[in-house]
Structure 1
Amino acid sequence: MSDTTAFCDAAARLLGPKGFTTDPELVDPWLTDWRGRYTGRAIGLASPASTAETAELVRLCAKHGVPIVPQGGNSGMSGGATPDESGDAVLISLRRMDKITSLDPEAMQVTCEAGVILQNLHEAAEKHRLRFPLTLGGKGSATIGGLISTNAGGTQVLRHGTMRAQVLGIEAVLADGSVLDTLTPLKKDNRGFDLKQLLIGSEGILGIVTGATLRLLPEISGRTVIWAGLASIRQARELLVHCERVAGEALEGFEVLPNHCLAAVLDHLPDARAPLAQPHAWNALIELVSTKPSGEDLASLAETMLEGALDLGLLEDAVIAANETQAEAFWLLRDSISPAERAIGPAMQHDISVPVKRMADFVTAAIPEVEKRFPETRALAFGHLGDGNVHFHVLAPAGVTPGRWEDSEGKQISSFVHDLVTEWGGSISAEHGIGQMKRDELGRLGDPAALAVLRSVKQALDPRGLLNPGKLLPLAQSGTNP
């Protein structure tokens, strides 16, 4: 009996027919990342139903020397949940672990398993007149474990921070099968390192997140959504500063997108309509909210804010959503940019950040530099201007061969963009993780001292390198990836 057969037999006995399969029809759909950039192979697909089963499975993998690739909703953007082509690894899905184990309205905390879908968490909180303050376009598939592992951001970071700010406690299975349980939240705890923070954003290379305790906030008593037309992204930056000054904590979202993105979405969604009568070079999607039980006159606040912006020449046109249906339609336009762009054709996607006050200047300078260096490409930026993070995408020239272009000119484009970001004091990964897509670039541009610390932590917690190999950590100079 081969080692692989022995492992598969043992995994099947441990997890049962619902928990382990080698059937290609069941495994293959999870071997390609959401963007279609990476496809790998796996021994099989393991779907444990509990933390105890996950721990036993990890111990079994350690016994047989089988690498482990954890996967949440498979909606990641950097290939971080896709196995390599060797076929040596087992894919571990936590989608069966989808229970909300407790929700305390008084403490405004929820404890749940890692496979809980973000949208389901939102709905559970709403039943108690609470909310979880993180959302994104993929909320219908993204899991809590995946969001923690990549330190997801989304459209509410401006006011509430990334996933790191939402996590109060974590449960995780480590490389030796032991379980780290920090689910009980403490306001103060100085017993050494904050281990939950170490695991957040670690992309599964230090442990497999199986559960979390998260903070909740009071439900909003009202919101007002605005669509504004702008002449430039620099004008958008000035408008953002104005909105922060006038609206204060009521300002929860400020997203920007160029006309090209809006046009692509309108082509992609047959029933969608442009919010404004005339196209504008740039658009801003602005959301004001109130959590006060008595509510606030957000409409008046929005009108005051927009009147002041018009007087200062900070926008060209604007419309306030007349109702919730129109507000959701505005947000659908923003959330549909990625699928609309994917339908157009190949593109190199860069999830980057620079200091907030410099982002508008960076976009203004970088777009023409990229398009001059790589003729016939189209560079564009959209996203979270308020927290210094935009999605900087470069669309391929017409007629290129998908796959081949990304591996040739596409890689040159990404290196050029990442060089620009580094020159501006920014990060090549703002919220989607490093995965395998940016691993080598992190090795090329990352701070050597920081990389040495990352490798040391990895070596200490996973000395055999079985947890999500080939992700996040750049190859060491010796040619090994611990």
Structure 2
Amino acid sequence: MSIDALKRLLGPGGYIDDPADMAPYLTEWRDRWHGDTPLVARPRDTPQVAAIVAHCAAAGIKLVPQGGHTGLCGGAMPHAGAGEVVVSLGRMNRVRAVDPEGFTMTLEAGVVLAAAQQAAVEADRLFPLSLSSEGSAQIGGVLSTNAGGNAVLRYGNARDLVLGLEVVLADGRVWNGLRGLRKDNTGYDLKQLFLGAEGTLGIITAAVLKLFPAPRQQETALVAVPDVEAAIRLLSLAREASGDRVSSFELIPRLGLEFVVNHMPGNRDPLTSPSPWYVLIDLTTAAPGTDLQGAMQSLLERALERGLVADAAVARSVAQRADLWRLRESLSESQKYEGGSIKHDVSVPIARIPEFIRKATRAVELLIPGIRAVPFGHMGDGNIHFNLSQPLGIDRQVFLDRWEQINVVVHDIVAALEGSISAEHGVGQLKVDEIVRYKSPVEMELMRRIKRAMDPDNILNPGKLVTLSDD
């Protein structure tokens, strides 16, 4: 009866209940989690989200907020057999306001990230958050998972780009914190509770986001480096030599580049000789008249003199820049063609990245001879995607069955280096038990206290991020 009442509340077009039509909402792209739901709710505005939450809270129905469904940790997946209603925010896709002079824009949660970027471009501004899934990832999900992306080095994570939020709370009330203030020193910064909370404390329905001056110049180079230590020194040199204009600094291993070239059509190795490691560097500036091309050339010359760089391909057009970035963006997908892949999204202090890669690679090779490590990612902010492809010739499922064993080995090394077992993908279902191993009892107690205070009946996204006794 409660589900029927929810359908009446939502009206035609406001829900999906056909099993075939609901299927895309009930699995994730790695096909690791499958769930079920009696209903996919598709609210059109914030009052309707509030009504859904109030109705379900009164009826004891649990809810799973869902954005573009691009997450990798099962955070937006309902559990099988739990009767959880999916709340899909995709219809709430209005750009409410753009303020070029104030360098802000206000968007609803269902706005796709690429559309948010375009709205900024049309105002001659930059919204710098960029992900490989930006064509389908939605603002609400991006903020709820505190996504990182390629420009964290320069602009910060998703939470650093938020000035205000509108949130539906677990009892159906709406907190309107859509203030575009740069300074507000009147107590707790409530918005930070919901950023990175994965929908467990409230449902983000809109946000005021920071904008930046649009880049006037951009220089991109793929650089061959002899080892990861050289890449670290190159990062420091690049920041100094460019006047801290480095917006991206991405590490790529030779094996990863080979996977992309071999499996992803339209990609090629832009350098004449192979190198064990590569770095993709972006320099950007909003200042007209800056000789950014000269800055890149000077950087590479100085790096060559110091033995940090063996070769480089510098983009001379927008098309060439896109070609270089496609090599980086295709890394994850290309690994599918090499069989099973056990993935880790970790961060360590930048100076300890070489130590982490060396120790973790050695440890997994001892555990599974022939395993192929493909460490890559956002070296400029310490975030490494330590992905492991199966040994050649073994059964895929036999390899994947050792995921948890491998995780413990890798994550123990991360913890010993004072790092994090989740840098930008969140916790979701994947790491909800693991974080108990790596967070202190005090941290876990505080997280549970916050969850109980904000959502005492555990209505919102139960069993994700932090578990309570009734999960």
Structural mapping, 1:395-434, within 5 Å: 395-398=389-392, 402=396, 405-406=399-400, 408-434=401-427
Q: Which of 317, 322, 325 is the matching residue for 1:331?
A: 325
Q: What percent of counterpart residues are identical?
A: 42
Q: Tell me how far apart the structure 1 counterparts of residues 394 and 18 of structure 2 sit (CA, whole Å).
A: 35
1:481–1:312 distance in 2 versus 1, CA, 3 Å: farther
1:99–1:77 distance in 2 versus 1, CA, 3 Å: same
Aligned: 1:53 with 2:74: no
Find the counterpart in structure 2 of residue 384 from structure 1: 378
Aligned: 1:32 with 2:27: yes
Q: Tell me how far apart the structure 2 counterparts of residues 122 and 330 of structure 1 sit (CA, whole Å).
A: 21
Aligned: 1:469 with 2:459: no
Structural mapping, 1:300-449, within 5 Å: 300-398=294-392, 402=396, 405-406=399-400, 408-449=401-442
Q: Which of 178, 181, 189 is the matching residue for 1:186?
A: 181
Q: Secondary structure at the match of 1:60?
A: helix
Aligned: 1:81 with 2:76: yes
Q: Secondary structure at the match of 1:425?
A: coil
Find the counterpart in structure 1 of residue 125 from structure 2: 130
Could you give the per-residue CA deviations for residues 413-446 of structure 1, whole angstroms, max 9, x where no partner exists? 0111111111111100111100100111101221
Aligned: 1:121 with 2:116: yes
Q: Superposition RMSD on alpha carbons, in Å?
A: 1.3
The farther-off stretch of 208-217 and 257-266 is 257-266
Deviation at 1:452, TM superposition (A): 0.2
Find the counterpart in structure 2 of residue 257 from structure 1: 252
Q: Tell me how far apart the structure 2 counterparts of residues 130 and 268 of structure 1 sit (CA, whole Å).
A: 36
Residues 443, 474 of structure 1: 8 Å contact kept: no
Q: Secondary structure at the match of 2:242?
A: helix
Q: Secondary structure at the match of 2:79?
A: coil
Q: Tell me how far apart the structure 2 counterparts of residues 404 and 15 of structure 1 sit (CA, whole Å).
A: 45
TM-score of the aligned structures, taking structure 1 as reference length: 0.95
Residues 228, 317 of structure 1: 8 Å contact kept: yes
Residues 379, 395 of structure 1: 8 Å contact kept: yes
Structural mapping, 1:278-289, within 5 Å: 278-289=273-284
Q: Secondary structure at the match of 1:193?
A: coil
Residues 98, 114 of structure 1: 8 Å contact kept: yes
Find the counterpart in structure 1 of residue 90 from structure 2: 95
Deviation at 1:36, TM superposition (A): 1.4
Deviation at 1:396, TM superposition (A): 2.3
Q: Which of 205, 216, 236 is the matching residue for 1:221?
A: 216
Find the counterpart in structure 2 of residue 457 from structure 1: 450
Structural mapping, 1:143-292, within 5 Å: 143-292=138-287
The farther-off stretch of 6-15 and 104-113 is 6-15
Q: Which amino acid aligns with 2:436?
A: G
Could you give the per-residue CA deviations for residues 371-403 of structure 1, whole angstroms, max 9, x where no partner exists? 112223222210011111110112223455555
Could you give the per-residue CA deviations for residues 286-341 of structure 1, whole angstroms, max 9, x where no partner exists? 0111101x231111111100000000000111121111110011111111111111
Deviation at 1:405, TM superposition (A): 4.1
Deviation at 1:186, TM superposition (A): 2.1
1:117–1:403 distance in 2 versus 1, CA, 3 Å: farther
Find the counterpart in structure 1 of residue 292 from structure 2: 298
Q: Secondary structure at the match of 2:243?
A: helix
Q: Which amino acid aligns with 1:456?
A: R
Residues 232, 350 of structure 2: 8 Å contact kept: no
1:399–1:95 distance in 2 versus 1, CA, 3 Å: farther
Q: Which amino acid aligns with 1:315?
A: V
TM-score of the aligned structures, taking structure 2 as reference length: 0.97
Q: Tell me how far apart the structure 2 counterparts of residues 474 and 256 of structure 1 sit (CA, whole Å).
A: 35
Q: Secondary structure at the match of 1:151?
A: coil
Deviation at 1:454, TM superposition (A): 0.3
Deviation at 1:243, TM superposition (A): 0.8
Q: Which of 101, 106, 111 is the matching residue for 1:106?
A: 101
Deviation at 1:185, TM superposition (A): 2.1
Could you give the per-residue CA deviations for residues 170-195 of structure 1, whole angstroms, max 9, x where no partner exists? 01111100111110122332332111
Deviation at 1:270, TM superposition (A): 1.4
Deviation at 1:262, TM superposition (A): 0.9
Residues 228, 284 of structure 1: 8 Å contact kept: yes
Could you give the per-residue CA deviations for residues 65-95 of structure 1, whole angstroms, max 9, x where no partner exists? 1111111111011111111112410011001
- Residue-pair matches, total: 471
Gaps of 5+ in 1: 1-5
Q: Tell me how far apart the structure 2 counterparts of residues 404 and 17 of structure 1 sit (CA, whole Å).
A: 47
Deviation at 1:361, TM superposition (A): 2.0
Deviation at 1:233, TM superposition (A): 1.2
Gaps of 5+ in 2: none
